[in-house]
Amino acid sequence: MRYNPIDPSLFINNRKNLFKHLKPNSLVVLNANDIMPQNADGTMPFRQNSDLFYLSGIDQEETILVLYPDAKEEHLKEILFLKETNEKIAIWEGQKYTKEQAQASSGIKTIYWLDAFKSQFNTLMGQATYVYLNTNEHPRAVVEVQTREARFIEWCKTNYPLHRYERLAPIMHHLRAVKAEIEIELIKKVCEITAKGFRKILPMIKPGIMEYELEAELIREFIRHRSRGFAYSPIIASGANSCVLHYEANDQMCKKGDIILLDMGATYANYSADLTRVVPVNGRFTQRQKEVYNAVLRVMREAMKLLVPGNSLPVYHQEVGKIMTQELVRLGLLDKTTIKNQDPQNPAYKKYFMHGTSHHLGLATHDVGDMYRKFEPGMVLTVEPGIYIREACLGVRLENDLVIRENGVEDLMATIPIEAEEIEDLMHSV
């Protein structure tokens, strides 16, 4: 793997925590993600199923993880089924996991090749009562292809129709929302890589440079530091593009007088970073740009104070909306009459700040977690307020990644420049 080995105690403990949430005599099955096809014989880069990785640390296609904590025999409590390598695969694709390597990475002692799955699974199903199957459940997910997990669910229910089936996703959402310290260290690592990319391109930003040139330098810097590249499609948005929330074309020239919004993050060991900064193309903010920038920065810092144990996303977002409303009044974008007559279900501030302030971060950029769950120490969230003034072609969003601790937050991006004057000084330092 491109990333350094991960302490297998992470995956061992993750499995132990999962077992506490299962019904008696339950079997758990997780499948690796598919390698998705492109055109002709092309394929997309492989990205492991986050839940399978969380429980095993195995980063290889066609992997199946079977967990049966109440099995009568110790060696059947945790089983990995792997694609068996051979000389042809080694020549064309490279070396796959050996059984010994899989044991070392996962802490799982029982490893079989895939061709043993059906017979072993049939034996276990003859003993189990409940079967937990996995699905990709996320409020923002749009799944229009049949995944490997979906195909397995069909096969399993057809061949074993009388078992009692359960959803694994709610349990995984609960467990993954609170990160272990090993996970937090991995997220710190990917934040450091992301910081290197931002600092690399900052002196390059000037009138005439293309958005895609900055994208190219970012991915180069990320890969130089053992990242696989971007955690998500980067947003390199200058001028009016800064007001397009999910702008991805990155094909315009950066012009004098404009700002450029950079929303990007690296990935490392399957963990994501998510950073947003706004930079003046010519190295100096105009007075109005700086006013809007500092307003967003004030909202961001006030929002950070609300990320404390016991709060929740709905209450938090409501409070951030009030803070944003005050800043929009100060900027002259809202007035008291508009606020007085606003629809409580569609507050006036949403004209200029129409997205959420925070989301979970981890093995996915928009990581899993129950939005109604109270904040707990160990949760990793972003903070990303923004103000978008389309008529002025001015969009400002600032974003850092933070860990909730017992007595506040730990800002994982605290060393990345964010003050307007600091950014200006850095742009003029070379």
Q: Are 282 and 203 in contact (CB under 8 A)?
A: no
Give pairs for 7-12: CB < 8 Å, separation 24+.
7/182, 8/57, 8/104, 8/105, 8/106, 8/107, 9/107, 9/182, 10/57, 10/180, 10/182, 10/183, 11/54, 11/55, 11/56, 11/57, 11/105, 11/106, 11/107, 12/107
Report pLDDT for 145: 87
Measure the CA–CA gap between 406 and 388, rounded to whole angstroms.
Answer: 34
Contacts (Cβ under 8 Å, ≥6 apart) of 71: 77, 124, 127
Q: Please give the Cα distance from 424 to 162 (Å, whole number).
A: 66
- Whether 59 sits among the annotated catalytic residues: the reply is no
Please report the pLDDT score of residue 18 as a whole number: 98
How many helices and strands (H and E) does the chain possess?
A: 13, 17
Q: Which residues of 328-339 are buried (b: 16+ CB within 10 A; e: fewer)?
A: bbebebbeeeee
CB-neighbour burial class of residue 260 (10 A; exposed 0-12, middle 13-18, buried 19+): buried
Over residues 227-256, the mean pLDDT reads 97
- Label residue 348 exposed, middle or buried (CB < 10 Å: 0-12, 13-18, 19+): buried
Averaged over 83-98, what is the pLDDT? 86
Whether pLDDT at 429 is above 80 = no
* Catalytic option among 176, 277, 360, 397: 397
> How many whole angstroms separate alpha carbon 199 and alpha carbon 195?
6
* pLDDT above 70: residue 430: no
User: For residue 84, how far is the Cα from the chain centroid?
Assistant: 31
Question: Any idea what DSSP says for residue 210?
Answer: B
Tokens 């100060």: give the residue.
Answer: 330
pTM, full prediction: 0.96
Residue 173 falls in the annotated catalytic set: no
Q: Please write the tens of the pLDDT for every residue from 187-205.
A: 999 999 999 999 999 999 9
What phi, psi does 115 have (nearest 5°)? -65, -10
What's the pLDDT at 94?
85
pLDDT of residue 22: 98
Domains of the chain: 9-176 (3.40.350.10), 181-427 (3.90.230.10)
Catalytic residue among 51, 221, 327, 384: 384
Q: Annotated catalytic, 327?
A: no
Query: Any idea of the CA torsion for 244, 246, 249, 254, to the nearest 10 degrees?
Result: 50
**Known active-site residue 372:** no
The answer to whether 367 is a known catalytic residue is no
What would the mean pLDDT of 213-218 be, rounded to a whole number?
98
Per-residue model confidence (pLDDT) at position 86: 81
Q: Which residue in 288, 330, 355, 428 is the catalytic one? A: 355
| Beta bridge mates, 47 | none
Rounded Cα distance between 156 and 226, Å, is: 39
Give yes or no: 388 in active site: yes
> Which position among 274, 302, 367, 401 bears the catalytic label?
274
- In tens, the pLDDT along 56-85 reads 999 999 999 999 999 999 999 999 999 998
Question: Which one from 2, 151, 164, 246 is the annotated catalytic residue?
Answer: 246
The residue annotated as part of the active site, out of 51, 215, 263, 401, is: 263
In the chain, % of residues over pLDDT 90: 92
Question: Is 174 designated active site?
Answer: no
70 tagged catalytic: no
Residue 134 and residue 29: Cα distance in Å, rounded? 7
Active site residue 41: yes
Backbone angles phi, psi at 92, to 5 degrees: -85, -35
Query: Which member of 226, 366, 373, 405 is catalytic?
Result: 366
